[in-house]
Amino acid sequence: MRRISIAGILVLSSCAGLTQREQTIPYTLSEGEISAVQNVVRSFLKDPSSAMFGNMMAAQTRPGVANVCGIVNSKNKAGLFTGGEPFAGVLKNTSATGRGAFTFTLTAQGSAQTNLNDMCRQNGILS
């Protein structure tokens, strides 16, 4: 009986982790937040001035923190467009008074073959 109780506790505790991850809520990025994300992503590109961003998706994980994923098409070192590469990261509001100061940390960047939806799912943005 004791083994069953311990196994039950382990199962329930692992489910709690899944529930917590599912508690992300869709989040609409402000212009300032979009700009912060784009500036950081550009800093990792071979030709930052060629960057063209597609739709970005975000999910709030807790107040002032959101996971973000999106796609950027830019020129590589050969001067050719990549065809669109997905990226993901964490956006934090660093202002105590509202939505004014942001930091974005890039956590993943894929190739043109990387599936954007898979990357967004892995980062808790899509279920």
Is residue 45 helix, strand or coil? coil
Phi, psi of 49 (to 5 degrees): -70, -15
Q: How high is the pLDDT of residue 5?
A: 40
Task: Say whether pLDDT at 17 is over 70.
Answer: no
CA distances for 45 relative to 57, 102, 116, angstroms: 20, 20, 18
Q: Report which DSSP code applies to 33.
A: H
- State both tokens at 26: 């869709």
Q: How high is the pLDDT of residue 99?
A: 53
Q: Is the dihedral of CA 92, 85, 27, 23 positive or negative?
A: negative
Count of CB atoms situated within 10 Å of the CB of 119 = 22
pLDDT digits (tens, 9 = 90+) for 30-89: 999 999 999 999 999 999 999 999 989 999 999 889 999 999 999 999 999 999 999 999
Q: How far is CA 16 from the centre of its chain?
A: 22
Alpha-carbon span 75 to 58, nearest angstrom: 25
Q: State the pTM of this model.
A: 0.77
